[in-house]
């Protein structure tokens, strides 16, 4: 069951301890953000592609007036924002309006990404392994422990799966990627839903190997034979990891390719009157990839520094307009034009002094 407060007051206080001390050191020269590791490759791409070029065509990133982003995980990002240590948090989890009101925050979407299930199994190449949500849940419950388990063999006739033990890799930090991954498993398996649940940081029944951030999970899977994990799609591609085909709501096994991600994102309904809050629902399109995450930016309704907040909003305005092609090239799905217009109209209504 999804709790009303996705980030508890206690966890925010603990995570924000160091961040609050740093808040005093911020001046009006640039703007800082923290949070989602899933969106980090996208933010990095935007930061460089939208920067002015010198005579040789090299990007001139403005280190004084530009963005300083810490990929700390969604939970830690919200903690830093509530501690007034950053101008924005990036989170793969939208907060309901009541929670935003409690924290004094506004939120808006910027991009949608896919979450790939990646493996390192001898003889299994990219887009070969088929997994259902139910079988994947049983793997993370510790009920399926070897790659040649009959349940995996039944999903993959003709694929030679070894008797290698399955090594679980998971996020060790509070993560929106984990939230969506656990929601996918909970939607397919009642026992997972009751024993583990849906959370940015679940109480796993099998410890596995914990790693902080998408990149660390990807590297742990790449470096350990027989392992399985979940990471952002572009990170999986960067390390040339084998990605599994996942069974969607229509019963088809689909890869996290661009057309499938676009089909999944098209089913999202984001209402600006509800601060674009999205209820967790599985994509229903026949060719939709079933495991996606829309990334949200959260900002204080009353900014600590209006100049820094305005710089952040100008950066995101460029990301949503001029940076659309960069999103596609990086493996993400940009917002549609109408949603972009709604986001830009939302800013001056939700953030004091925005324009």
When pLDDT is cut at 50, 70 and 90, the band that residue 350 belongs to is very high
Q: How does strand 227-232 pair with strand 67-70?
A: unpaired
Cβ atoms 292, 233 nearer than 8 A: no
DSSP assignment string, 129-192: -EE-HHHHHHHHTTS--BTT-HHHHHHSTT-----PBPEEEEESS--HHHHHHHHHHHHH-HHH
Indicate the burial class of 104 (C-beta count within 10 angstroms; 0-12, 13-18, 19 or more).
exposed
**Which letter, b or e, does each residue of 56-94 get, where b requires 16 or more Cβ atoms within 10 Å of its Cβ?**
eeeeeeeeeebbebbbbbbbbbbbbbbbbbbbbbbbbbb
Q: Answer whether residue 183 shows pLDDT above 90.
A: yes
pLDDT digits (tens, 9 = 90+) for 52-67: 766 655 656 665 558 9
Mean pLDDT, the chain, integer: 89
pLDDT top residue among 7 and 224: 224
CATH of domain 115-265: 3.40.190.10
Indicate the pLDDT class of residue 268, thresholds 50, 70 and 90.
confident
Report the DSSP beta bridge partners of residue 89: 34, 298
User: Quick one: pLDDT at residue 34?
Assistant: 97
Evaluate if residue 250 carries a pLDDT over 80.
yes
End-to-end alpha carbon distance in the chain = 38
> Which CATH topology does 9-113+294-350 take?
D-Maltodextrin-Binding Protein; domain 2 (3.40.190)
Q: What is the pLDDT of residues 286-345, one digit of tens each?
A: 999 999 999 999 999 999 999 999 999 999 999 999 999 999 999 999 999 999 999 999
**Nearest CA-CA partner of 309 in 342, 347, 349:** 347
* 241 burial level (CB within 10 Å; 0-12, 13-18, 19+): buried
What's the pTM? Answer: 0.86
The helix or strand, by DSSP H or E, that contains position 115, with its residue range, turns out to be strand 105-120
Inform me whether the pLDDT recorded for 6 exceeds 80: no
CB of 163 within 8 A of CB of 226? no
* Three-state secondary structure call for residue 34: strand
| 222 Cα distance to chain centroid | 20
Indicate the range of 29-33, 153-157, 224-228 predicted with least confidence. Answer: 29-33
CA 253, CA 318: separation in Å to the nearest integer?
36
The pLDDT value given to residue 291: 96
**Which two three-digit tokens encode residue 70?**
């810490």
**If DSSP states are collapsed to H, E and C, what string results for 44-58?**
HHHHHHCCCECCCCC
State how far Cα 267 lies from the chain centre: 18
Both tokens of 55, joined, read 């005579």
User: For residues 143 and 252, what is the distance between their CA atoms, to the nearest angstrom?
Assistant: 24
Distance CA 28, CA 104 (A): 21
CATH 3.40.190.10 residue spans of the chain? 9-113+294-350, 115-265
Is there a contact between 89 and 81 (Cβ–Cβ < 8 Å)? Answer: yes
- Report the pLDDT averaged over residues 103-115: 97
Listing DSSP states for 260-312 in one string gives HHHHHHTT----GGGTT--------STT--S-EEEEEEEEESS-S-HHHHHHH
For 88, phi then psi, to 5°, come to -150, 155
Give the span between the Cα atoms of 352 and 300, in whole angstroms.
Answer: 9
pLDDT by residue (tens digit) across 278-287?
A: 876 778 889 9
Helix-then-strand count for the chain, H and E: 14, 13
Sole residue written with tokens 């907060």: 95
Q: How confident is the model at residue 4 (pLDDT cuts 50, 70, 90)?
A: very low
Is the model's pLDDT at 28 over the cut of 90? Answer: no
């Amino acid at each position: 069951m999804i709790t009303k407060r996705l980030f508890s007051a206690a966890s925010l206080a603990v995570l924000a301890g160091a961040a609050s001390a740093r808040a005093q050191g911020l001046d009006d020269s640039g703007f800082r953000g923290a949070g989602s590791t899933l969106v980090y490759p996208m933010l990095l791409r935007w930061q460089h592609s939208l920067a002015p070029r010198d005579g040789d065509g090299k990007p001139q990133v403005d280190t004084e007036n530009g963005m300083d982003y810490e990929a700390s995980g969604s939970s830690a990002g919200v903690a830093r924002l509530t501690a007034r240590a950053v101008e924005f948090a990036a989170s793969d989890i939208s907060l309901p309006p009541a929670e935003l009101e409690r924290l004094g925050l506004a939120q808006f979407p910027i991009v949608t990404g896919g979450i790939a299930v990646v493996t390192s199994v001898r003889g299994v190449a990219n887009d070969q392994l088929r997994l259902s949500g139910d079988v994947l849940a049983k793997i993370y419950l510790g009920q399926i422990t070897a790659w040649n388990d009959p349940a995996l063999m039944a999903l993959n006739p003709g694929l030679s799966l070894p008797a290698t033990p399955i090594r679980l890799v998971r996020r060790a930090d509070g993560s929106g990627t984990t939230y969506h991954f656990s929601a996918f498993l909970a939607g397919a398996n009642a026992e997972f839903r009751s024993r583990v649940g849906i959370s940015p940081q679940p109480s796993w029944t099998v410890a596995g190997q914990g790693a902080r951030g998408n990149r660390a999970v990807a590297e742990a899977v790449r470096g350990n034979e027989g392992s399985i994990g979940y990471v952002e799609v572009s990170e999986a591609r960067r390390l040339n990891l084998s990605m599994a085909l996942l069974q969607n709501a229509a019963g088809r096994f689909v890869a996290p390719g661009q057309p499938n991600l676009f089909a999944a994102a098209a089913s999202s309904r984001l209402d600006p009157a509800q601060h674009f809050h999205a209820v967790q629902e599985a994509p229903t399109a026949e060719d939709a990839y079933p495991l996606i995450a829309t990334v949200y930016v959260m900002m204080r309704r009353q900014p600590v520094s209006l100049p820094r907040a305005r710089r952040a909003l100008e950066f995101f305005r460029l990301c949503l307009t001029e940076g659309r092609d960069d999103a596609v090239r990086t493996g993400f799905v940009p917002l549609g034009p109408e949603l972009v217009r709604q986001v830009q109209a939302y800013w001056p209504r939700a953030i004091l002094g925005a324009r």
